[in-house]
Amino acid sequence: MCKVSVTEFRRHLFHYIERCSVEDVLITRRGKVIAVLSNPDKQYYRTLEDLCGCLKADLGDKSYDDLIGEAILEKQKQVL
């Protein structure tokens, strides 16, 4: 995670946009974090891992997307 002031962020905008593909960039004003620039794909999988902590570590050939799809189908069957 990288911390940068608003002024520094403005000066080197494209650098930090590229950098957010590797790590989150915290943007600060007067020492307080006011924004976070992050890669949406990484954030998606990080959130999934947090929420799906009860899943087995060995998913075999299934991805998290497959597991979510199966869970959605199960919910639909319960509704119908």
- Residue 26: pLDDT band by 50, 70, 90 thresholds? very high
Each residue's pLDDT tens digit, 28-41:
999 999 999 887 77
Angstrom CA distances, 43 to 22, 29, 32, 39, 55, stand at: 11, 23, 22, 6, 18
Each residue's pLDDT tens digit, 65-75:
777 777 777 77
Tell me if residue 46 falls in helix, strand or coil: helix
Q: Check whether 57 has a pLDDT greater than 60.
A: no
pLDDT at res. 44: 65
Angstrom CA distances, 27 to 1, 4, 41, 47, 80, stand at: 11, 5, 20, 21, 47
